[in-house]
Structure 1
Amino acid sequence: MNDAITEAEAGTDPVTGGARAEAAETAAAAPLGVPREPTGLPSVDALVERLAEADHLPADGHLAVYEDVHQGLRAELTSLDARPAPAPRPHDPRS
């Protein structure tokens, strides 16, 4: 059995000699800069804006933000299916 560790296993880039982990961490820390356009619905816009919070979190923190926003958007869509309350009937002064 060979106990030697290859450069790939050690996480070193054989071309540049730098650690791949450092390059990946630097690249992952940069915000994506994806524009978020307003929808015109304040509740939906607030949820979409929450996605910007992921720009300041490490990758393992993104999931919580995405799940929260997804849950909020599903709730907004579900509310569209709710039946409106019946319209009030006009008061009949004769009764």
Structure 2
Amino acid sequence: MSDTVPEPTASDETAEAEAESVRDHDPAAPAPLNVPRTPTGNAEVDAQLERLGDADHLATDGHIEVYEDVHRGLRDTLTALDARPGPPAPSPSYGQHRS
């Protein structure tokens, strides 16, 4: 018995190259869309947009989960804008003159 690893034969290398070629050119395999994502300047929104990149590595039937998660995150971010405290609204009688 020998501790040396046998050198790969030409047929082993050819078979491996063919298998890699099939993986690289399989039209059913997930492929990145490479859609550019321009930063918005809002960290929460930008994080959600980057999350869309997760769909690039999933089969098509896995995209919906990512899209729904991003939609939920963006909706929550918009809702939070409405909930943030701001200056109080003027009262309805503000600016009215009494005679």
Give the TM-score category using the shorter length: 0.5 to 0.7
The SS at the match of 2:85 is coil
Gaps of 5+ in 2: 1-24, 89-99
TM-score for both structures, normalised by structure 2: 0.57
Larger Rg: 2
Query: How big is the shift at 1:85?
Result: 6.4
Q: Does 1:49 align with 2:50?
A: yes
Residue 83 to residue 47, structure 1, CA distance change in 2 (3 Å): closer
Counterpart AA for 1:54: A
Aligned positions, number: 64
The answer for unaligned runs of 5 or more in structure 1 is: 1-21, 88-95
RMSD of equivalent CA atoms: 2.2
Question: 1: CA distance between counterparts of 2:84 and 2:57?
Answer: 39
TM-fit CA distance, 1:67: 0.2
- Residues 18-57 of structure 1 mapped to structure 2, 5 A cutoff: 24-26=27-29, 29-57=30-58
Per-residue deviation, 1:79: 0.9
Mapped to 1, the partners of 2:86 and 2:48 lie a distance apart of 26
Q: How does 1:1-95 map to 2 (within 5 A)?
A: 24-26=27-29, 29-84=30-85
Q: Call closer, same or farther: CA 1:23–1:83 in 2, change over 3 Å.
A: closer
